[in-house]
A = this chain, B = another copy of it.
Amino acid sequence: MMNDTFLKACRGEKTDYTPIWMMRQAGRYLPEYQAVRGNVTFLELCKNPDLCVEVTLQPIDLLNMDAAILFSDILIPMEAMGTPLEFHEGRGPIFPKPIRNQADLDRLHVPDPDEETGFVMDTIRLLRKELSVPLIGFAGAPFTLATYLIEGGSSKMFWETKKMMFTAPELFHAMMEKITECTSLYLQAQARAGAQALQIFDSWAGVLAPCDFEEFALPYVKRIIADLNDTGLPIIYFANNGATLLDLSVSSGADVIGLDWRINIGDAIKRVGNKAVQGNIDPFSLLLPEPKLKKRIQGILDGAKDAHGHIFNLGHGINQFTPPAQAKLAVELVHELSGR
C-alpha cells in the first residue's frame, strides 16, 4: 500500500493531510546513520547501494516521513565527468583540480549515467522494492555544480565563479552546457530506474543578482526540465536563498517550487501562483519547545492554505546537531495539525 500523499501534493491535488519530508533527512543527526557511516568513508557510502538503501530508509522508519530521498551527493556525477573528488571531515567537498580554463574543461566528459554512476541507479531499483512512500531522486542544478568545479569546493564569496562569468562568459557557458548535458542524462536515468519525483538543488543560486541568474543559470535548469517532460514525473526546483528569483524560478517549468526559510510562505505563494510549493520552516527552529514549535508549524500551514499543493519541509537541510526527537515531533505536529 503506497502512501501517495506527497505525489498528490506535487501535482496540486487535494490531500487528506500535508505530507512532510526533510532535506538531508538521511544524515548525520541520526545516530543510526552515524553507525553506518562509522565504518566507511562518505564516498564509499555513496557508492554502496546496500548501505545507501539502509540510510535512505532510516528516517522513513524512525520519523514517519511521507517521502524518501535517495541518499547520495550532488557531486557524484561531477566526479564521473572526470574531476577527482575528495571529502575531508569537517571541510566539505574538495576538487583538487578546479576547472578554470578551456583545457580544464576539455578534460571533462559527459558520462553514461547507467555505466558510470550505476550504483545510484541500483540504489533506486533496490529502494523501490522496500519503500511504501514515494522515492525522490535528485541532482544539483548546473550553476551550483559549476561553482564547486570552479572554486574547487565550497565557497563563501564565489569570486572565481563570478570572475569567469564576468570576464570569460563563453568559457562559463561552455562549461554550463557540458554540466547540463550530464545532469539531464543523469536525471533521466534516475527516472528510468524508478525515481517517482525529481528535485533539482540550486544551493547557490541565491548568490546571483536576478539578471545574472536569468542569463547564467536559469536557461540550463529550463533545458533539463524540458528534457524530463516525457518522464511525467513531478519536478521540484529549489533555489536556495532565492526569494528574489521566485518569479524566474516559476518560469523554469518545475511543478513544485522549493522555498527556503527566509520568505513568509504566504507571500511566496502569492508570487508562485498555480504551482505547488515545498517548505519552509527554519531548520534550526526545530529546537523550539513544543508549544512554540506547534505555533510555528501552524503558522506555516495557515500561510500555505491557499497553495496549489503544499509539501511541508525545512527551508534548508536538517542540521547535524538537531535532536532526532525534535525532528520526530515536527513530523507528528505537521500530521496532527493538518488533519492526518
Binding site for B on A (CB under 8 A): 156-159, 162-163, 166-167, 206-212, 241, 243-244, 261-264, 267, 282, 284-285, 287-289, 292, 296, 299, 315, 319, 321
Interface centre among A157, A267, A292, A299, by most chain B C-beta atoms within 10 angstroms, is A157
Copies of this polypeptide in the complex? 2
Contacts A163-B287, A167-B289, A288-B166; is A210 near B264 (CB within 8 Å)?
Answer: yes
Main secondary structure of the interface of A (DSSP, over half): helix
Contact A167 B287 (CB under 8 A): yes
26 contacts between A and B (CB under 8 A): A156-B156, A157-B284, A157-B319, A159-B284, A159-B321, A162-B282, A162-B287, A163-B284, A166-B287, A166-B288, A166-B292, A167-B287, A167-B289, A209-B262, A209-B285, A209-B315, A210-B262, A211-B264, A211-B296, A211-B299, A241-B241, A241-B262, A243-B243, A243-B244, A244-B263, A244-B267
Within the complex, what minimum Cβ distance (angstroms) separates A208 from chain B?
Answer: 8
The 4 A-B residue pairs whose C-beta atoms are closest, nearest first, are: A162-B284, A166-B287, A244-B263, A243-B244
| CA of A128 to CA of B240, assembled, Å | 44
Contacts A163-B284, A319-B157; is A263 near B299 (CB within 8 Å)?
Answer: no
Within the complex, what minimum Cβ distance (angstroms) separates A326 from chain B?
Answer: 10
Known: A162-B282, A167-B289; 7 extra A-B contacts, CB below 8 A, are: A163-B284, A166-B287, A209-B282, A210-B262, A244-B262, A244-B263, A244-B267
Residues of B within 8 A of A212 (CB): 282, 285
Give the residue of B209, B211, B262, B287 whose beta carbon is less than 8 angstroms from that of A206: B262
Residues of B within 8 A of A211 (CB): 264, 296, 299
Within the complex, what minimum Cβ distance (angstroms) separates A330 from chain B?
Answer: 13
Within the complex, what minimum Cβ distance (angstroms) separates A116 from chain B?
Answer: 32
Within the complex, what minimum Cβ distance (angstroms) separates A112 from chain B?
Answer: 36
Contact A284 B241 (CB under 8 A): no
| CA of A261 to CA of B166, assembled, Å | 15
Residues of B within 8 A of A159 (CB): 284, 319, 321
Residues of B within 8 A of A288 (CB): 166-167
